[in-house]
Homo-oligomer: A and B are copies of this chain.
C-alpha cells in the first residue's frame, strides 16, 4: 500500500520501485555511488542497499571518491572502496541521493559503463540521466526510499541495514525536526525498531563524535557574535587565523549558523567565512518570516526562502559591516 500511494505522487518520468527491484534481482554485480561530500543520508542509504544486495548473493560495493567523515565511519566496514576496478564490468550502477553526475565526477565514466544505470534520489532534479530513475521529493531522506525498495524486494532488514537506514533518515531530517519529516518517516523508523536497531548507539556515533578542535573553532567564532537590528539578526565570522589558532577546519564551520538562528528573537542568522583577504563567503538562514534569498540577490547570490548565500569581494570585517547594513535596511523596509 505504502509503495502504491508513494508511486502516485511521482513524476511521470519516474520508473517504479518494482522495475528497479527486478533489475537488481537479475544483476550479478552492483556498484553504488553516493555523492561527494558524503552526508548521513547518501552513505547510510548506499551502505544499507549494498549490505542488502550482498545478503541476496550479489557482488556489491559502495564506490566513493572522498573521505568518510568520522561520525559516519561506523557504517564503512568493508562496503566502501575508492578502487574504480573493484568490479570490472558492473551489471548495474546506482547513484544514491544524487541527481547529477557532476556530484560523482571522478567516478562518472565508470558509472556510465554499467550495463544498466539507476538513480534513486529525493532531490528535485532538472533531467533524469540514468536508464531507470526513481526521484521522490516527498521522501524526507533517500533512506526512506531504500526502506521501501527493500520491503518491496522482500529482503529482511537486519540490524546492520536498519542502523544505516536510521542514520540516513535521522541526519537528513535534523533528527525529525525539519519540515520534511512526515508521518511516513516516523512509521518507517518504528519499523526499523523491529529490526533490532540500537538507535541510541547510532545517535552517539552521529552526534557525540565531534572533534575537540571543531568545538574550539566554534567557540572562537562565537566570540565574534554580534546581534543587530534590535536583536532580530545575528552575525559571526570564521577567519583563517582562527583555523590556525584552534586546529579546526573550514568545513567544520557547517552548522555554526544554526547556533545563531537558535537565539530567541533572531529571525536572520548570518555567517561570514574568510576565503581570501579580499573574498568572503556569506551564508544566511531565516527562522520563519524573512526570505533570505531576496537579500542574497542584492549580491548576485542564490538560495531559498530560509537558506541562501552569496560571495562578497572584501575581507571579513568589511563583509560583516556590509551585511549588517544591508539586513538592517531590509528588515526596516
Contacts and interface: CB of A to CB of B under 8 A. Distances in A.
Interface of A: 70, 170, 175-179, 181-184, 186-187, 189-190, 193-194, 199-201, 203-204, 207-212, 215-216, 219, 222-223, 225, 227, 231, 234, 259, 261-266, 287-288
A234 B70 CA distance: 19
Nearest to A179: B200
A177 B200 contact: yes
B200 A212 contact: no
A262 B216 contact: no
Contacts of A207: 177, 262
Q: How many copies does the complex hold?
A: 2
A83 B325 CA distance: 48
A19 B128 CA distance: 58
Contacts of A186: 186-187, 189-190, 193
A175 to B, nearest CB: 4
A199 to B, nearest CB: 6
A43 to B, nearest CB: 18
A181 B186 CA distance: 12
Contact of A190 (B190, B216, B222, B261): B190
A211 B181 contact: no
Given A211-B264, A212-B263, 8 more contacts: A175-B177, A177-B200, A183-B190, A183-B193, A186-B186, A208-B263, A208-B264, A210-B264
Contact of A209 (B177, B187, B264): B264
A222 B220 CA distance: 10
A284 to B, nearest CB: 15
A212 B187 contact: no
A265 B209 CA distance: 7
